[in-house]
Amino acid sequence: MSRMQKKTTMVNRKPKTLLSTFGGLRIFRRRRECAACENSSFPVATILGLPKRYSDDLKERVAHNIAMSAYRPAGKTLKLYLGLDFSPTTIGEIADEASSEMEARLHSNPDVRKDFQAADGETEIQIDGTCINTRNEDGTQEYRDMKIASAVKRECGESATASEWATRELPEPNAVYTVAAIESKEDFQKRVEAMRRFLGIGGITSALADGAVWIWSLIFMVFGKASECLDIYHALEHVSACGKALYGSGKKFDDWLERMRLVLLSEGFVGMERELELLKKGLDMEQRKPVDSLLKYLGNNSDRLTYFERLAAGRAIGSGLIEGACKNLIGKRLKQTKACWRVPRANKIAFICAVMYSEQWERCWHNSS
């Protein structure tokens, strides 16, 4: 410690180019050196808070552009509006730096937790995943699962019946916080647990997801017992697949699917089990296979088919919010034609996309409401 208290001496003046939204700025700074520890520093850079190379305004605009489009189109936009000509490699480097800084600011901002806690409505969790094409260290390509989780505060809507499920309008969420990453189930569970602690979430009202076992296990381990709901669209996809195997396409299939939909929404597993067991009596062994498969799928999720009760309470029965994140934000950006990602870079871009989806952009850059 005593050595670091030695007086520093001025060695020379070194130039530095700072890039901002207003263009490049070349400045000269005095470099001072400590004879005791042989470390050097630029005091004026510390006093004025000068960035290493890129200003925050520039990094914000680069981050926003690459969350919406690929590197080359983003580069064209930056050149058109800011007059800055960056290579795709440089844009990627700025994106990595911006993503890390955004994450640090977001996780140190107490207003994010306050906003979530103050938002009206019940707390629900939605989890899903989408496959991303990635490149390994040896150059081989592999599709990996980008896992996504959203914590939502939403008020209940008006009570609805089974026949009104597709036409009712649920209130928009009052708060959304999303995390996303390509990582193991164990690491993603730690990420969701960190999200729970950061937002101050105790118990949750409900959880919505598809039938993946790892999702329900994660939800239970992180949030404990909750009202779990199998996403209605995933459930109906399995019902539809069974109907097509039996009837193909046409009016007979359409009529059967409509009837099964109403049974599922109004009676849950009990009604579906009754209808499918009756259906099996008129089928041969081969025809029974898709019916048995559907029965097994629904049976594994029998406690998650309480659609009638949820509709009556004005709660969501579909994980449309997380599906939107998978398709329109994460998927649209990371699953472009011929796109192939290194996992660290993909996770950096996914974080930026998640911030946009969570409407936390201002909290990362301007610390304003």
Instruction: For residue range 308-339, list pLDDT tens digits in order.
Output: 999 999 999 987 777 777 777 777 788 887 88
Same domain, 38 and 23: yes
Same domain, 104 and 155: no
Q: What is the reported pTM?
A: 0.84
- Answer yes or no: is 192 within a domain: yes
Same domain, 125 and 199: yes
Distances (CA, A) of 357 to 77, 126, 326: 21, 14, 11
Same domain, 104 and 123: no
- Answer yes or no: is 27 within a domain: yes
- Answer yes or no: is 313 within a domain: no
Same domain, 131 and 213: yes
Same domain, 62 and 44: no
| Percent of the chain clearing pLDDT 90 (strictly above) | 62
Same domain, 58 and 203: no
- Answer yes or no: is 48 within a domain: yes
- Answer yes or no: is 323 within a domain: no
Distances (CA, A) of 60 to 130, 173, 347, 351: 26, 26, 17, 14
- Answer yes or no: is 243 within a domain: yes
Q: Which domain holds residue 263?
A: 234-304
Same domain, 28 and 174: no
- Answer yes or no: is 315 within a domain: no
Same domain, 284 and 159: no
Question: What is the reported pLDDT for 46?
Answer: 58
Q: 30 pLDDT band (50/70/90 cuts)?
A: low
Same domain, 348 and 203: yes
Same domain, 132 and 60: no
Question: What is the reported pLDDT for 3?
Answer: 45
Who has greater pLDDT, 240 or 203? Answer: 240
Q: Which range (39-53, 144-158, 179-193, 303-317) has the least confidence? A: 39-53
Q: What is the CA radius of gyration of the chain?
A: 27
Domain count, the chain: 4
Same domain, 256 and 135: no
Q: 369 pLDDT band (50/70/90 cuts)?
A: very low
Strand order in the sheet with 206-209: 175-182, 141-154, 122-135, 206-209, 227-230
Last-in-domain residue among 52, 70, 91? 52
- Answer yes or no: is 309 within a domain: no
